[in-house]
Amino acid sequence: MKAYRILRYRIEQFLALPLDELQHDRDRLKAELDRIGNLLP
């Protein structure tokens, strides 16, 4: 159940990203994905 909570939280954070802005800034997108990958709820 812990893995589910972590995964759900990270997916929610990903969906909240301003993807229209980030699609043109590869470095910022990578930084955001790295940040999300380390988040814990």
CB 10 within 8 A of CB 36: yes
Q: Model confidence over 1-41: pLDDT tens digits?
A: 999 999 999 999 999 999 999 999 999 999 999 999 999 99
Give CA–CA dist 29/33, Å, rounded: 6
Amino acid at 34: D
**pLDDT score for 14:** 97
For residue 19, the enclosing domain spans 2-37
**pLDDT score for 33:** 97
When divided into structural domains, the chain yields a total of 1
Predicted TM-score of the model (pTM)? 0.85
